[in-house]
Amino acid sequence: MSSRPSTIAERLIDDLSARAPQHSRDADLAIEAHGLVKHFGDIHAVNGIDLRVRPGQVFGFLGQNGSGKTTTVRMLTTLLRPTDGTARVAGFDVLNQDRQVRRAVGVALQEAGLDILQTGRELLRLQSRLYNVPRGEIEDRIAHLLEVVDLTDDADRRIGGYSGGMQRRLDLASALVHSPPIIFLDEPTTGLDPVSRQNLWEYIQRLNREDGVTFFLTTQYLEEADQLCDEIAILDAGEIVQQGTPDGLKATVSVDVIYVQVEGDEQAQQRAVSALLPLPNVEDAQWDYNEGVAIYSKSGHDTLPRVVRTLDDESLPFSNLRLARATLDDVFFKATGHRIEPADQTAPTTGGGAG
């Protein structure tokens, strides 16, 4: 409440906007966040995130483990109180209207949160009741969902006997019992086999296309973000470092990338990078442990021979020279300074000043 409005007209407008139903203010946004911050003591998990997700979008959060994806999801779904900032989901404030938020969203967290002593059907039934699904509709709804996630035959077995993939599918079904307009999926396909992953993608796309469901998903798979998302935010050390459509993001990286493995220690790599950076058309050059030196160029064909010549001049032996189109991987690398490392591959990385 800053200065008092002076004219009658101003006061009237003030009064009207104060009385207007709160959700009408940003009715066209499914998810909205301003300056979202979460600190756990000294650990700054999320450092000021702004979000605007429109209804019907599939919005992806791309980042490594520890980049703040899960923390953000937990704040948006009312499980965690932000240290600072505000967020509205389905038009409701996540702090003061938490129950309305929970009613409007379906959530499947990273670890399938299930009770192993119940059967799949019992779990869905309890879930339906807690979401106040009308009694007469519960059994039909459950039967439909079980079919969708391909668990009809196992519905009356205890969850403890389910495989990891089955548990994830059941977890997803449990997020859908109340047909929510907004669904949060935290790394939905991590640990799934390729077939299940493909099925899940298709299901997400179908729900999005046919029912207009908004998705907010986090992933550490570039391919997943590329395939599914209308918009991607790259998250690193608790901040959004790059955001846009998959194609738009790829366009921010120069059209071509030249990869080359320079032999020698880290010093040799750095020497190569410094020598290559000034070449014409080269926008950036970076080195990382897995991919070697990556040179981003507006014109790969022009740059390629110059790379060879420069490395020769510097007496740096090299191998595996190749030219490629930019991928999301390159966008990610350029934005964060490191390659994305899914949790199940733990190769060491260097480079990147991710605090």
Partner 1 sequence: MTTAQAPSELQTSASREAGPLQVLTDARHLAVRAIRESVRQPGVEITNVFIPLFFLAVSTGAIANFSERGFGVENYLAFQLPVAVLQAVAGSSAASGIAIVLDMERGYFDKLLLTPASRWSLIIGRVWADAVRAIFFATIMLVAALVAGSGMATGVPGAILILIIAGLFGGAYSGIGIFIAMRTGNAQAAQAGFLLFFPLLFMAPAFAPLAVFDDWLRIIATINPVTYIMEGMRGLVMEGYAWPVTEGGQIVFGPDGLPLTKDPPALHWAFVSLAGFSAFTLTIAALALRSRTRAD
Residues engaged in binding partner 1 (CB under 8 A): 77-81, 95-100, 102-103, 105, 107, 109, 111-118, 122, 126-127, 129-132, 158, 171, 174
Q: How many whole angstroms separate alpha carbon 97 and alpha carbon 326?
A: 43
Least distance (Å) from partner 1 to the CB of residue 235?
Answer: 20
Using alpha carbons only, what angle is made at residue 195 by residues 193 and 199, rounded to the nearest 5 degrees?
115
Residue 188 vs 292, nearer CB to partner 1: 188
CB of 113 to partner 1, least distance (A): 3
Alpha carbon distance 238, 76 (integer Å): 15
Count of C-beta atoms within a 10 Å radius of residue 130: 11
Residue 30 or 276: the one with the smaller Cβ distance to partner 1 is: 30
> Helix-strand-coil percent breakdown of the chain, rounded to 5?
40, 25, 35
For residue 272, give the nearest of 112, 130, 58, 282 by alpha carbon: 282
Q: How far is the CB of 41 from partner 1 (least distance, A)?
A: 12
Q: Where are the alpha helices (DSSP H) in 153-193?
A: 164-174
Closer to partner 1 by CB, 111 or 314: give it: 111
The smaller minimum CB distance to partner 1, of residues 39 and 306, is found at 39
Nearer to partner 1, 81 or 309 (CB): 81
CB of 92 to partner 1, least distance (A): 9
Shortest distance in whole angstroms from residue 14 CB to partner 1: 16
Query: 155-184 burial, b if ≥16 CB within 10 A, otherwise e?
Result: beeebeebeebbbbbbbbbbbbbbebbbbb
